[in-house]
Amino acid sequence: MTLRTGEQYIESMRNMNLQVYMFGKKVECPADDPILRPSLNSVRMTYDLAQLPEFEDLMTATSHLTGEKINRFTHIHQSAKDLMNKVKMQRLLGQKTAACFQRCVGMDASNAVYSTTYEIDQKYGTHYHENFVNFLKQVQKEDWTVDGAMTDPKGDRGKAPHEQDDPDLFLHVVERRPDGIVVRGAKAHQTGFINSHEVIVMPTIAMREADKEYAVSFHCRTDTEGIFMIVGRQSCDTRKVEGAPMDTGNPEFGGTEALVIFDNVFIPNNQIFLNGEVEFAGMMVERFAGYHRQSYGGCKVGVGDVLIGATALIADYNGCARASHIKDKIIEMQHLNETLYSCGIACSALGTKTESGNYLIDLLLANVCKQNVTRFPYEIVRLAEDIAGGLMVTAPSELDLRDPKLGKYVEKYLKGVGVVSTENRLKVLRLIENLCLGTAAVGYRTESMHGAGSPQAQRIMISRQGNLEMKKELAKELAHVTE
């Protein structure tokens, strides 16, 4: 099997023995849980679209390891064009799901680990790259979904991992055995862990010698003994079980995050990618973060396309589409969205080859991309709310619309232009609500701020990569300054 169908993917997730908890209870079959299912559907789209001839170029690639056709989400980028195709693929999936489709984290982790393990082996004669390549061959063959787990809970932000009162606040090695290691800790905000077959765990920050036990990276099955997940709440999440699908705004798709606990998990030697080589923790983090910051110039743009479309529709339905200020606000939304896309494409176009042979984005531009993503979706949301009007948060439920007594009043008084049904008007308003404030806002708005690193993390990278000294020299030369 090299390209799984969506149905085969869903079936494979049903067969996993995942330990998932939500609202204080164990979820027996996460794949069929009505609150979790929309997030599984989003990942499913990464399989379904890969089956369609019209998306073959974007959704699939040729494995550099086997020459087989594979899903692009399991690919190691071989050129700047691959990097650009990745961003285009993410925009497409954002357009089709209006949610986080989760599978990018594993792709970004794979590309970061691929090049970093190569460089560790060069220095230390370790076999991490070989471990990774063997793993990747299996991922490509089985078309697995892989999560990438980086963010530790971090406890006191002013202290290094080894200085924390509780040593488990960063995931670390607690025991070394001849055949492997035992790790303990947790990874927070894990997008898609529940919908993944495998996980690549990485450290969360650059480290020093004293943090040696924390400089660890490996892969394992997501249902390995000792791993369990606590699902995060999302605003409006229980609307999915109230029998009013219209109220969810996007009944089919969603995203999901979980706190994942690693409670003394055994990792065999051949699954390890980093184990105490502290100086490489920073490289792994920087590269993964760079790839994921590039990713946001694709996925968030696709979701932005849906929000812009919904906003233009509601302007039509409200009868105000011809007002010049409405037209101008929609132009502004498009301008902001395409600016994000430009950044995603630019950092890809300027990608360069690493020592291992895969392609790395331009790190400065990838960080600029994500820094813009921490701002522009907020403005896009503000403009969407401006145009949609207050009804996006005050409209009654679908249950009222369907009610024999109340329905006719909802129909009558919430009508917009004559040719559009009240039902359609309410559906679009709910979609806007979902994207701006509801379950999808996790993946669009707040994730734009904190996903792939909070804004300050990008500013640190911009200051490192921005080459300020060179710019001072430019100024001095032109002003004839001699020091």
Query: Using the rule CB under 6 A, which residue among 39, 140, 295, 348 binds ligand SF4?
Result: 295
Cα separation, 387 vs 380, in Å, equals: 11
301 is a site residue for ligand SF4 (CB under 6 A)? no
Nearest distance, CB of residue 185 and ligand SF4, angstroms? 22
Closest alpha carbon to 203 in 148, 159, 164: 148
Say which entry of ligand SF4, Fe ion, none residue 104 contacts (CB below 5 to 8 A, set by partner kind).
Answer: ligand SF4
Contact 295/236 with Cβ under 8 angstroms? no
112 is a site residue for ligand SF4 (CB under 6 A)? no
Nearest distance, CB of residue 343 and Fe ion, angstroms? 16
Pick the catalytic residue from 119, 257, 286, 433.
257
Query: Using the rule CB under 6 A, which residue among 362, 451, 457, 458 binds ligand SF4?
Result: 451
Say which entry of ligand SF4, Fe ion, none residue 102 contacts (CB below 5 to 8 A, set by partner kind).
Answer: ligand SF4
Surface-to-core class of residue 178, CB atoms within 10 Å of its CB (0-12 exposed, 13-18 middle, 19+ buried)? exposed
Say which entry of ligand SF4, Fe ion, none residue 348 contacts (CB below 5 to 8 A, set by partner kind).
Answer: none
Say which entry of Fe ion, ligand SF4, none residue 13 contacts (CB below 5 to 8 A, set by partner kind).
Answer: none
288 is a site residue for ligand SF4 (CB under 6 A)? no
Say which entry of Fe ion, ligand SF4, none residue 340 contacts (CB below 5 to 8 A, set by partner kind).
Answer: none
* Catalytic (active site) residue 100: yes
Cα separation, 132 vs 110, in Å, equals: 8
Contact 192/256 with Cβ under 8 angstroms? yes
Ligand-binding annotation for 60, yes or no, is: no
Pick the catalytic residue from 60, 116, 191, 204.
191
Query: Any idea what the Cα angle at residue 458 is, between residues 73 and 155, rounded to 5°?
Result: 90
Contact 157/196 with Cβ under 8 angstroms? no
Which of 106, 451 has the CB closer to Fe ion? 451
* Catalytic (active site) residue 104: yes
Count of residues of this chain found to bind ligand SF4 when the rule CB under 6 A is applied: 13
Instruction: Collapse the DSSP code of 207 into the 3-class scheme (helix H, G, I; strand E, B; otherwise coil) and give the result.
Output: coil
102 is a site residue for ligand SF4 (CB under 6 A)? yes
* Catalytic (active site) residue 7: no
* Catalytic (active site) residue 62: no
Contact 93/338 with Cβ under 8 angstroms? no
| DSSP string for 349-404 | HT-EE-TTS-EE--HHHHHHHHHHHTTHHHHHHHHHHHHH-THHHHPPPHHHHH-T
Say which entry of Fe ion, ligand SF4, none residue 356 contacts (CB below 5 to 8 A, set by partner kind).
Answer: none
Q: Which of residues 188-227 bind ligand SF4 (CB under 6 A)?
A: 191
Cα separation, 115 vs 13, in Å, equals: 29
CA distances from 216 to 172, 181, 188 (A): 7, 10, 16
Stretch that binds ligand SF4, among 68-76, 292-300, 384-392, 401-409 (CB under 6 A): 292-300
What b/e string do you get for 184-216 counting C-beta neighbours within 10 Å, with b at 16 or more?
bbbbbbbbbbbbbbbbbbbbbbbbeeebbbbbb
| DSSP string for 214-268 | G-EEEEEETT-TTEEEEEPP-TTGGGGGTT-GGGGSSSS----EEEEEEEEEEEE
Nearest distance, CB of residue 306 and ligand SF4, angstroms? 13
Say which entry of ligand SF4, Fe ion, none residue 262 contacts (CB below 5 to 8 A, set by partner kind).
Answer: none
Query: Using the rule CB under 5 A, which residue among 168, 451, 453, 458 binds Fe ion?
Result: 451
* Catalytic (active site) residue 191: yes
Residue 297 φ then ψ, to 5°: -75, 0
Pick the catalytic residue from 100, 236, 343, 436.
100
* Catalytic (active site) residue 296: yes
Q: Which residue, chain included where needed, has tokens 């300054």?
A: 481
Query: What's the helix, strand, coil split of the chain in %, to 5?
Result: 55, 15, 30
Contact 190/258 with Cβ under 8 angstroms? yes
Nearest distance, CB of residue 388 and ligand SF4, angstroms? 24
Nearest distance, CB of residue 302 and ligand SF4, angstroms? 8
Which of 63, 295 has the CB closer to Fe ion? 295
Query: Using the rule CB under 6 A, which residue among 35, 100, 202, 315 binds ligand SF4?
Result: 100
Cα separation, 132 vs 445, in Å, equals: 34
Cα separation, 229 vs 232, in Å, equals: 9
Say which entry of ligand SF4, Fe ion, none residue 305 contacts (CB below 5 to 8 A, set by partner kind).
Answer: none
Contact 371/455 with Cβ under 8 angstroms? yes
Query: Any idea what the Cα angle at residue 391 is, between residues 389 and 395, rounded to 5°?
Result: 170
Q: Which of residues 176-195 bind ligand SF4 (CB under 6 A)?
A: 191
Which of 450, 472 has the CB closer to Fe ion? 450
Residues annotated as part of the active site:
100, 104, 191, 257, 292, 296, 299, 447
Binding site: residue ranges? 191
The residue ranges that bind ligand SF4 (CB under 6 A) are: 90, 100-102, 104-105, 191, 295-296, 299, 443, 447, 451
Which residue ranges make up the site for Fe ion (CB under 5 A)? 451
Residues comprising the binding site for FAD? 191
